[in-house]
Structures are given as C-alpha cells and as structure tokens.
C-alpha cells in the first residue's frame, strides 16, 4: 500500500459478502483517513450495517480485503495465500476498534462503571484503580458521572447509549464504529447522544457512522457515502451528496427521509 | 361521572368481590387433611412412641447427614460437569459437540437405578484398576476396584454423572437465553470466547439456570435413597435396616419422610440467596432482585 502518501485508517477493497445465495455486499471500496468522520446512509437492507460489522470481523467477508491501519482484518496474507487468523489474534485486532450498537448491548448484570472497566481490566490488564479513574473521567465526558453505580435497567435509552460509547472509548480505540446509534431511542433522547458523538468527532476520533440522521451527517461528516443494494451509489462531501445528489436513487432516499 | 375526583384523592371505596366458593373448598380440604392426620395419630397399628424415639436417634441423624452430604457433593460435581458439557455442546468444534451429545444421550437414556447398580458392581466387570501402558508389562498402579471405588464413591459417581446430563441441558438453555448482542459487544471489546462466557454470558445465564437447578436439587435429595441398592448408609438405607430388625416399617418410614421434608425445606434457602445474587441489575428500581423484595404484595415492580 504505497499508493497514497499516508496509510488510511480504514481501507476497504472490493469487499463482498453473501448470505447463502444472496449477495449483500457487491464490492465495496472506500478509504477512511485518520481523523475523518464518514457517515453511511442508505435504505434498510442496503448492506451498510453489514459492511460496518465486517470492519471488526463480526461478519466474515467472502471477497476483497479490509485493512485497519496497516493490518489486514481477520486473515494473514502469505504471498497469494490467505490464512484464517486464530480467535486470539482477531480479539487483539478488535481492541483497537470500538463499536456502538443500535440496541446498546450494555451488560445488564454490571453497573455503568463496571461495564466500562470490564474490558480494560480483563482484556488490557489495567489495574482497578486506574481503570476506575479513567472510567469516571469518561462518564463525566458523556455527562453521566452521577450514574456510575446505576445498572443499565435504571438508565434511559439515551443514557445507556452514552455509557456504551464510554465503554467503547475505555479501550482507547483508534477507530469507532457506530451502528445506527440513535435508531432505538425516543426522539427527545437522540440529541444527547448526537452531542456526545459530535464532541468525539471534534476531538479527532476516526468514526464510521451508520445513521439515518441527515442533520448529523451534514454537520459532522467529512464524507457521506450513500449505499443501496450492496454497492456504493455515491460518495463525497456532505454538501455534494446531500444537497446536490447526482443519482436518482440518492435523491429518492433523501426525499423519503426528510 | 358527574364530577372528576380531586387529584391524588383515593375516591374508590368499592365492596370487594366475594368468593364464597373459596371458603367452601378451604373448609372441605381442611376436613379431609384433618381426618387423615387424625387417623394417623390415633391408628392403633402405629407405635407413636417409637416414631418419637427414632426421630433423633444417632443412626437416623447420621443417615440424614450423609444424605445431605451426598446431595450437595453430587450437585456440585454435576453442575461443574454440566457447564463443561453445555459449552462443549454449543461449541463449533464438531468433536466436542459429538462427545457432549453422546454423553447426555447415554446418561439420560438409561435408568438411574441401573447406573447406580452398574457403578456398584464395577468390580465384577473390572476386578482391578490398573494404570500402565497398554500391551506392555509396565504397570504404575494396580489395586482391586472395590478398594479404589468403595460403595460410597460409586454412589456419588452414579448420582453426579447422571445429574450432569440433565443439568447440562439446563445450563445450555440458560446460555441460549442470553441475547446474542451481549457476545457481540464483548467481542467488539476484544474479549476472548472463554472470557466472554465466564464474565458476560454465564452470570446472566444464572438467572435462568438457578430455578430449575433448585428443582434438580430437590429431586437429587430424594434420589439418594436409591443408593439403598448398593448399601450406602444414607437415610433411607438406615431406616430400612432398623425396621428390618424391629419390624416397625411404617414408623421408620414416617421418621425418614419427616427428615426428607425438613432437608428439602432447608435446601430452598440457598436458592433464594442465589436468585437474589444473580438477579442484580434486572429490576428497574433498586437494582435488587424482584424476589428479594417480594413480600405480600407480590414484589415485581
């Protein structure tokens, strides 16, 4: 990868993915530079969430390559031969990639604080005091330092999602993936979560966000990618894709979400 | 509907719905139970003094103690083995899957009584336990089977191995009850499969596992009586040994029944503690379990 002057944070090359006979990703190629915020838009079933889940190998791909930093995800390439990675190596790769889910997926048997310190302590081997200090700092950053000892069931959806963001950040990832982070929230709770994400973008975090929030994409994204039917239909700066879409499919989608 | 009540006012003062048949049935049941107890208490065929005499006899108490020890020990062994089997059955490794499935099928597919006798008579099939290198004369260890596995150990083995097969399915159901998103979140944080199982999935599965395991424990306490057939000196064996000498069969059965009931009642307490422990975080208001705050109002908020 000597093509560009600096290595992109994420490079997807002709990524293909099938479920049985149904091909859901038909050759996705895109780059995300370090510090860039990329928003993935598209109708449901367009493959955008699937693509996101391929980046941290929650889904395996059937063709193409995904690189995060200088690492090929999920495989070791020896000449022309690909070797499946050991689960331990995959786990190690995932430590650098934070993920936030549509349904939060907080651990219900742990408090907000315990949710955040579990991976730093158990996976990264951090001692409890340091992990707790950092977790409290992160909770403060997402505005929930007073809820440290609450269980997820005692928090609103928006609060849970902010804890989930803090939990992902606790592993100090280079890259954050957001899979429709506000789609399961009551409308009045969406703002707080988007605010946290904007903040994160400002701090220089590399982010890939699957979303239906056009306003967020316009305000925060450096690049907007519109996907449909497993292909990238259109990609570019938000003002190009959102305000002056070149493809009819993009126009139709934007009309329908407004 | 003429006037809306003032806010906060409890203005419903209704006569409670009457349930006259409940009272009738309660009375009928009381009479039936009362007659039964009365006939037992006055039966000339039952030597009541003997019941009282044997209730706290050291022989009986020792038998009851062994019953508790056997129950607890075999449930602990079975639970550990069951967890391993459940994880094996759910693993992607076909070999592990087959082994676990075959184990479960085999131990559930044959009567417990048969298995107990089998372990008890193991010495008749394999008279000696030999550890060495097959087809050579090198032997590290050689001893008669009945010395290596005495009847007590055979009984414990039979109960644990059999129970593990049933408990494995309970543990598997518990693991499957945990939302797949939990494993995904754990993976995305870089947790390994085993770490995820131990720290994220199993603690949540416990909520589902504990109630049926309480059931299994009660069942196990009673199954220990089957060890009678290989002469392990647990409660039922002791009771029947005594009655075979003094011919007071009914009296000693009453004594045994009394202690089984007492032991099962006491064994229910740890279950409640465990349910509270693993219910943390699953109720909205306090973070404690719904059971812990039960009381007369029924509890769940």
pLDDT: is A83 or A79 the higher one?
Answer: A83
Order of all β-strands in the sheet with A223-228: A97-100, A175-179, A206-210, A37-41, A223-228, A231-236
Rg (chain B; Cα; Å): 26
Q: pLDDT tens digits, residue range A164-198?
A: 999 999 999 999 999 999 999 999 999 999 999 99
Confidence at A6, pLDDT banded by 50, 70, 90:
confident
User: Which of A104-108, A111-115, B14-18 is the least confident region?
Assistant: B14-18
| Beta-carbon separation of B189 and A105 below 8 A | no
Q: What token pair was written down for B8?
A: 């906060």
Residue of B nearest to A155 (CA): B284
Tally Cβ neighbours within 10 Å of residue A141: 17
Q: What does the pLDDT read at residue B297?
A: 37
Contact between B191 and A122 (Cβ < 8 Å): yes
Contact A119 B185 (CB under 8 A): no
Say if B301 is an interface residue toward chain A (CB within 8 Å).
no
Per-residue CA distances from A9 to A13, A34, A106, B297 (Å): 13, 5, 27, 57
Percent of chain A with pLDDT over 70: 98
Query: What's residue A138's pLDDT?
Result: 97
Find the mean pLDDT for residues A102-119. Answer: 97
In chain A, what percentage of residues exceed pLDDT 90? Answer: 93
Helix then strand count (H, E) for chain B reads 13, 2
Q: ipTM of the predicted structure? A: 0.93
Q: Does A61 have pLDDT greater than 90?
A: yes
Residue in A87, A94, A167 closest to B193 by CB: A87
Q: What are the C-alpha distances in Å from A10 to residues A167, B215, B300?
A: 22, 53, 48
Q: Could you tell me the pLDDT band of residue A161, with boundaries at 50, 70 and 90? A: very high
**Given this model, what pLDDT does residue B291 score?**
37
Going by C-alpha positions, the residue among A21, A99, A18 that lies closest to residue A64 is A18
Task: Locate B229 and state its tokens.
Answer: 């057939």
Give me the pLDDT at residue A79, please. Answer: 85
Q: Name the closest residue on chain B to residue A156, using Cα atoms.
A: B284
Test A97 with B188 for CB contact under 8 angstroms.
yes
A94 to B281: CB separation less than 8 angstroms, yes or no: no
Q: Does residue A153 sit at the B interface (CB-CB below 8 Å)? A: yes
How near does any CA of chain A get to the CA of B113, in Å? 40
Interface contact A109-B191, CB threshold 8 A: no
Nearest 10 degrees: CA dihedral of B233, B234, B235, B238? Answer: -10
Inter-chain touch A123–B190, beta carbons under 8 Å: yes
Which pLDDT score is estimated for B287?
A: 42
Residues of chain B with pLDDT under 70: 1-7, 283-301
Angle at A52 between CA A50 and CA A53, to 5 degrees: 65
What is the model's pLDDT at position B4? 65
Which residue among B189, B191, B287 sits closest to A154, beta carbon to beta carbon? Answer: B287
CB–CB of B184 and A98 under 8 A?
A: no
- Predicted confidence at residue B2, as pLDDT, reads 57
What local confidence, expressed as pLDDT, does residue B3 receive?
A: 63
Q: How far apart are the first and last CA of chain A?
A: 40
Two tokens, residue A133:
């200090």
Least confident segment among A63-72, A138-147, B65-74, B266-275 = B266-275
């Amino acid at each position: 990868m000597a093509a560009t002057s600096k290595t992109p944070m994420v490079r997807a090359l002709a990524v293909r993915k099938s479920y049985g006979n149904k091909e859901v990703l038909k050759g996705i190629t895109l780059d995300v530079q370090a510090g860039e915020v990329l928003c993935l838009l598209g109708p449901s079933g367009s493959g955008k969430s699937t693509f996101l889940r391929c980046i941290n190998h929650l889904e395996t791909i059937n063709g193409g390559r995904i690189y995060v930093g200088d690492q090929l995800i999920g495989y070791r390439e020896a000449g022309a031969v690909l070797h499946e990675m050991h689960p331990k190596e995959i786990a190690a790769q995932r430590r650098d990639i934070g993920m936030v889910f549509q349904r939060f997926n907080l651990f219900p048997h742990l408090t907000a604080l315990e949710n955040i310190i579990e991976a730093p302590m158990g996976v990264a081997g951090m001692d409890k005091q340091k992990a707790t200090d950092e977790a409290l700092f992160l909770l403060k950053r997402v505005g929930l330092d007073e809820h440290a000892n609450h269980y997820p069931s005692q928090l609103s959806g928006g609060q849970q999602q902010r804890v989930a963001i803090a939990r992902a950040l606790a592993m100090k990832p280079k890259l954050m993936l957001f899979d429709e982070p506000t789609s399961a929230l009551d409308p009045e709770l969406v703002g707080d979560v988007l605010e946290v994400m904007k903040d994160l973008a400002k701090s220089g975090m590399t982010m890939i966000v699957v979303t239906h929030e056009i306003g967020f994409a316009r305000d925060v994204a450096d690049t907007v990618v519109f996907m449909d039917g497993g292909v990238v239909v259109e990609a570019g700066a938000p003002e190009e894709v959102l305000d002056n879409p070149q493809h009819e499919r993009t126009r139709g989608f934007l009309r329908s979400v407004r | 509907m003429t006037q809306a009540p003032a806010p906060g006012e409890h203005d419903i003062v209704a006569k409670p719905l009457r349930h006259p048949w409940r009272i009738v049935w309660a009375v009928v049941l009381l009479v039936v139970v009362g007659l039964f107890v009365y006939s037992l208490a006055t039966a000339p065929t039952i030597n009541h003094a003997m019941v009282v005499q044997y209730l706290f006899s050291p022989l009986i108490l020792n038998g009851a103690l062994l019953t508790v020890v056997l129950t607890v020990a075999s449930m602990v062994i079975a639970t550990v083995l069951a967890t391993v089997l459940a994880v094996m059955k759910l693993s992607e490794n076909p070999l592990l899957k087959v082994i676990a499935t075959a184990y479960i099928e085999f131990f559930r597919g044959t009567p417990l009584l048969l298995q107990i006798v089998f372990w008890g008579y193991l010495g008749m099939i394999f008279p000696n336990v030999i550890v060495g290198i097959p087809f050579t004369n090198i032997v590290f260890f050689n001893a008669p089977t009945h010395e290596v596995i005495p009847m007590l150990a055979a009984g414990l083995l039979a109960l644990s191995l059999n129970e593990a097969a049933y408990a494995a399915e309970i543990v598997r159901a518990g693991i499957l009850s945990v939302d797949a998103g939990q494993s995904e979140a754990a993976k995305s944080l870089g947790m390994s499969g085993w770490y995820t199982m131990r720290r994220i999935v199993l603690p949540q599965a416990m909520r589902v596992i504990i109630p049926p395991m309480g059931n299994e424990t009660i069942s196990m306490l009673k199954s220990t009586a089957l060890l009678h057939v290989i002469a392990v000196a647990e409660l039922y064996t002791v009771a029947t040994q005594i009655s075979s000498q003094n011919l007071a069969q009914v009296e000693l059965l009453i004594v045994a029944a009394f202690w089984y009931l007492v032991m099962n009642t006491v064994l229910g307490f740890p279950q409640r503690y465990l349910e509270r422990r693993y219910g943390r975080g699953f109720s909205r208001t306090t973070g404690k379990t719904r059971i812990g705050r039960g009381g007369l109002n029924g509890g769940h908020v």
